[in-house]
Chains A and B, each alone.
Chain A
Amino acid sequence: MGRYAIRRLLQLVPVVLGTTFIINYMVWQLPGDPFAGRCGQRPCPDSYVTAMREQFGLDQPILVQYWNFLKNLFTGNLGTDFNGVSVATQLGDAWPITIRLALMAVLFEAIIGIGAGVLSGLKRGGFVDNVVTVATLILLSLPIFVTGYLLQWILGVQFGVIEPTVSDAAAVPELIVPALVLASLNMAFTARLTRTSIVENLRADYVRTAVAKGLSNRRVVGIHLLRNSLIPVLTFLGTEIGSLMSGAIITEGIFNIHGIGGLLWRAINGQDYTIVVPVATLLVLVYLLSNLLVDLLYGVLDPRIRYE
């Protein structure tokens, strides 16, 4: 297992290099000058454009730019963005909020999704199963922004139960509703995935054996059935962590949460590669690491899976 983990970690190196190069290259290829649109209807003064290009190395060939980027990345010096604000500080401000929101959303997905899935799977065709099926159908058919605006309007504006937007501190209680909104769609996915898995495994030989052995119901479901049924769910949740870390542009926008999503959105609009590239690089890392974690967890859940 240790060796497997190290091998996987080593594989990260070429993947990170490759993806960052592609990201750099693509940002470079974007049409339009990032500084041309900064002066509205007037053309920007030449001296300004030249100075900015020089400052950010845009006048260098792409390979030199990439080399500078790598050098800066490994020395931990991310520099400033086009607005002259430290990139590291901006990431440092935004990332904890995004992580908090993402973890809460995944938690909701796991607890509510798996809970509902197990319930409906165990009593297939029953009342609870039907309720869960209908509820997930509704959640799946509602786009996130509808759920978001609806909850904001009802809870925030009409009833005043919550503030319509989240404060700068973005404390955990404030993030509950946004996290639920963010989780809503995938909560339904998780529930359905769990349900299918449970229904399938209920007929498996090892469950019958366990019941025949006279094990308690709790042990049969909790240890034997659930552990095996969770593997596909875990795969799903693992990739979900990765995608949620990239920030939820829509949810963050609705509730005015100052996370990575909004930062990335603004940077992409302004073609500010000084933010886009480091964020994308970090996202690649998060994806790779969360996938590795999921793979390692398989071994814990299913004794048949062993890593050499």
Chain B
Amino acid sequence: MRVTKGAKIATGTALLALGVAACGGGGGSSSGGGDNPRAATGTVYIRGCEPQTGFVPGNINETCGGTINDFVYSRLVKYNSDTAAPELDQAESIETTDNKVWTIKLKPGLKWTDGTPVTAKNYVDAWNYTAYSPNAQLGSFWFGDIVGFDKVNTADPDGPDGPKEAPKPETDKLEGLEVVDDLTFKVTLTAPVAVFRTKLGYSTFSALPDAFFKDPKGFAQKPVTNGPFKFVQWDHNSQIIVEANPDYPGPEKPKVKKIVYKMYKDDNAAYADLVSNNLDFTELIPPSALAGDKWKTDLGDRAIDGQQGVIQTVTFPLYDKEFGGNADFRKAVSYAIDRKTITDKIFNKGRVPINGWVSPIVEGFKDGACGDLCTYDPAKAKEYLAKAKAEGYTPPAEFPIWSNADGTHKEWIEATVNSINQAFGADSGVKFVHKDMPTFAELRDTITQHKIKGAFRTGWQMDYPHIENFLNPLYKTGASSNDGLYSNKALDAKLHEADTATDPAQANALYQEAEAMLQQDMPAIPLWSYGLQAGTSKWVTGVKVTPFGVLDPLSIAIKEA
């Protein structure tokens, strides 16, 4: 058969299409040359994601929104990007004699981006709004220490599932908050809290301008703020733009004019953009690039390697006879986990084994709280397993460690269960396995309803850099995130003693003692602390990453030509 003309036309079109494709979209990447394309506009591009809520600080609890929130709002206290130590920011002084009554004085001359002054009333109004339960703010529980909280925030008597509704609170003003004058207010707590000053750097403790109360919904989409950057626009699912605030009074001013928070669905896409210098910063290097330290070869001196205040633990459901185990069983499991090999092989040393229940970068951290319980020792693991059995605990034949399939936990949990099974030996009568629930929501639902059958992964990302944040919310009887329902009267007493200590150094020492007490029962097994892998483009310099694992917006600067 001959080649026909019709066919020739068809081929021609096909080749043309290929040709167009090959050169399509070309000429965009501006590599090489001495010119820095960022210098002209003063704009930098950083990786972002779509926030879950609007920009009301008391209602933000996830990093997508939290990152921008921290760029645009200043608080009474901020944390040093290098040392994580709390420093005064909007506050001129925060004073107390008994850790119970705190007098907070603001710096004079602070302004909101709409020109109105930042006053003590702005702080008090914002805190009252967040704490008042009918406003349904996510951060409401943060004000639980303040006198009168139970009168503004009422609990639903049978939980959200029950038919009863929460009673309307008596008042919408916290009794413990008092405006003294324009720049001073007084906070009275129900009991002494040693770390209250440190807590004040958490986003929920921001102020809100009067403009917020006129239109909360509209404000959430385009807030008036008091931070180093001001909010410009939010294109949903695509980008958020913030601009340097010319009135920002801090000693360190923003070094760029504009930050574009570009949203990516896939870390790999962001990484490809970073390598080709289209993106200036990402704090999420994808696993494919971490493998074999490929990212360090790709990025060279543009790679940033650090630590962040997040730890990974495995928690046991202590309320469950079958899977709660006893103390010696949990110690046996801890001895059986080869943390070093797992962090080396699975995470390429991107995570660091920990020897306690607290992140190594926070105030009050003391190495070795776990004793030798957190070191890999198969012989001791066997010994403790035998002890646990002798005490009358019979572990189930199959012991699951649960995680959520929508996160990236499968690999390390499988390595962990292998490590445990090998250390225990084939004749131990218990086999650890990894099991998944489809989503994080479902996993958390099962855990908080105390119905989980097996141990489960728990991670704790610090709210503020202090040892207290890793103990009180997690191990105190009845605490909000005490998922395993651990209860130890002696520990509670020690924590209370620390909370109420007036001398910070003494409080820290008491917290450390409390941490060491966790050794007795091992309610949760410490595994490792998260490292931080970030990267920058060749156009920017000076970039610092905070202990919270996000960009310090004041540090980023554009390289000169």
> Which residues 259-277 in B have Cβ within 8 Å of A in the complex?
263-266, 268-270, 272-273, 275-276
Cβ contacts under 8 Å, B22 to chain A: 161
Interface hit among A17-25, A71-79, A217-225, A292-300? A217-225
Considering the complex, give the chain A residue whose CB is closest to the CB of B169: A47
CB distance from A301 to the nearest CB of B (A): 16
A64 to chain B, nearest CB (A): 16
**CA of A269 to CA of B438 in the docked complex: distance in angstroms?**
10
Q: In the bound complex, what is the Cα–Cα distance between A262 and B266 (angstroms)?
A: 10
Q: Which chain A residues border B503 with CB–CB below 8 Å?
A: none
**CB-CB nearest in chain A for B65:** A83
B481–A33 CB distance below 8 A: no
B6 in contact with A118 (CB, 8 Å): yes
Chain A residues, Cβ within 8 Å of B441: 32-38, 271
Closest CB in chain B relative to A184 CB, distance in Å: 11
> A108-B17, A118-B10, A122-B7 given as contacts; is B269 within 8 A of A51 (CB)?
no
How far is B131's CA from A48's CA once the two chains are assembled, in angstroms? 11
Q: Which of B31, B54, B141, B238 contacts A160 (CB 8 A)?
A: B31
Query: Which residues of A lie under 8 Å from residue B394 when comparing CB positions?
Result: none
B481 touches A42 (CB 8 A): yes
Q: Is the CB of B11 within 8 A of A48?
A: no
Q: Could you say which residues of chain B place their CB within 8 Å of the CB of A112?
A: 14, 17-18
B282 to chain A, nearest CB (A): 12
Q: Are A49 and B160 in contact (CB under 8 A)?
A: yes
Could you say which of B355-363, B442-450, B504-512 contacts chain A? B442-450
User: Are A43 and B439 closer than 8 Å at their CB atoms?
Assistant: no
Among the stretches B323-331, B375-383, B457-465, B552-560, the one at the interface with A is B457-465
Mask: chain A, 29-73; 1 = CB below 8 Å from B; 0 = not:
001111111111111111111111100000000000000000000
Give Cα A69–Cα B20 distance, bound, in whole angstroms.
45
Asked if A173 contacts B24 (CB within 8 A), the reply is yes
Partner of A46, one of B159, B442, B445: B159
In contact, B265 and A160 (Cβ under 8 angstroms): no
Interface residues on A, range: 35 or more
Nearest A residue to B30, CB-CB = A160
Q: Which residues of B contact A262 (CB under 8 A)?
A: 237, 265
CB distance from A302 to the nearest CB of B (A): 19
Q: Which of B236, B263, B269, B275 makes the CB contact (< 8 A) with A93? A: B236
* Nearest CB of A to B153, in Å: 7
Known: A43-B448, A84-B53, A115-B13. Contact between A161 and B23, CB under 8 A?
Answer: yes
Name the residue on A nearest B264 (C-beta).
A256
Residues of B with C-beta under 8 A to A174:
24-25
Chain A min CB distance to B146 (Å): 16
Return the contact of B61 from the options A40, A152, A255 (Cβ within 8 A).
A40
Complex interface: stretch among A163-171, A230-238, A282-290: A163-171
Contact A37 B440 (CB under 8 A): yes
B140 CB–A CB distance under 8 Å? yes
Q: Which residues of B contact A168 (CB under 8 A)?
A: 235, 238-239
Give chain A nearest CB distance to B318 CB in angstroms: 17
CB–CB B11/A119 < 8 A:
yes
* A217 and B25 in contact, given A50-B136, A254-B269, A266-B265 (Cβ under 8 angstroms): no
> What is the distance, in angstroms, from B227's C-beta to the closest C-beta of chain A?
22
Q: Is the CB of A258 within 8 A of B238?
A: yes
The answer to whether A156 and B10 have CB atoms under 8 Å apart is no
CA separation between A48 and B5, bound complex, in Å?
A: 70
Q: Quick check: B237 and A37 within 8 Å, CB to CB?
A: no
Which one of A38, A157, A163 contacts B52 once the chains associate, using CB atoms below 8 Å? Answer: A38
Interface string of A239-260 (1 = CB under 8 A from B): 0000000000000111110100
Q: With the chains together, A6 CA to B183 CA distance in Å? A: 72
CB neighbours of A180 from chain B (8 A) = 21
- In the complex, are the beta carbons of B29 and A160 less than 8 A apart? yes
Tell me how far the C-beta of B527 lies from the nearest C-beta in chain A, rounded to whole angstroms: 15
- Nearest A residue to B163 via CB reads A59
- Is A89's beta carbon under 8 Å from chain B? yes
A12 at interface by CB-CB < 8 Å: no
Q: Verify if B346 is at the interface (C-beta below 8 Å from A).
A: no
- Is residue A212 within 8 Å, beta carbon to beta carbon, of the partner chain? no
- Bound Cα distance A40, B135 (Å): 20
Q: Quick check: A111 and B13 within 8 Å, CB to CB? A: yes
- Which chain A residue lies CB-closest to B279? A165
A196 to B372, CA, bound (A): 71
Instruction: Please encode chain B, from 413 to 450, with 1 for each CB lying within 8 Å of some chain A CB and 0 for all others.
Output: 00000000000000000000000011111111100100
Q: Could you tell me if A83 and B52 are in contact, using CB atoms closer than 8 angstroms?
A: yes
Give the contacts of B36-62 with A (CB-CB under 8 A).
50-54, 61-62
Pick the residue among A36, A45, A173 that contacts B444 (CB under 8 A).
A36
The answer on a CB contact under 8 Å between A37 and B17 is no
Instruction: State whether the Cβ of A140 lies closer than 8 Å to any Cβ in chain B.
Output: no
Q: Is B489 an interface residue (CB 8 A)?
A: no
Q: Taking the complex as formed, is A94 at the interface, i.e. its CB lies under 8 A from any CB of chain B?
A: yes
A153 at the B interface (CB under 8 A): yes
Chain B residues with Cβ below 8 Å from A50 are 136, 156, 160, 165-166
With known contacts A47-B140, A84-B220, A93-B238, A37–B444 Cβ distance under 8 A: yes
Which A residues lie within 8 Å of B278 (CB)? 163-165
A84 to B234, CA, bound (A): 13
- List 12 additional contacts besides A163-B28, A217-B4, A269-B406; criterion CB under 8 Å: A42-B141, A43-B448, A111-B10, A149-B268, A160-B276, A161-B26, A164-B272, A168-B238, A168-B239, A176-B24, A176-B25, A266-B50
10 A–B contacts from the bound complex (CB under 8 Å): A37-B440, A42-B61, A47-B136, A112-B14, A115-B10, A118-B10, A119-B11, A123-B1, A157-B272, A218-B5
Q: Give the interface of B toward A (CB within 8 A).
A: 1-7, 10-11, 13-14, 17-18, 20-26, 28-29, 31, 50-54, 61-62, 133-138, 140-141, 153-156, 159-160, 165-166, 217, 220, 235-239, 263-266, 268-270, 272-273, 275-276, 278, 406, 437-445, 448, 458-461, 473, 480-481, 483
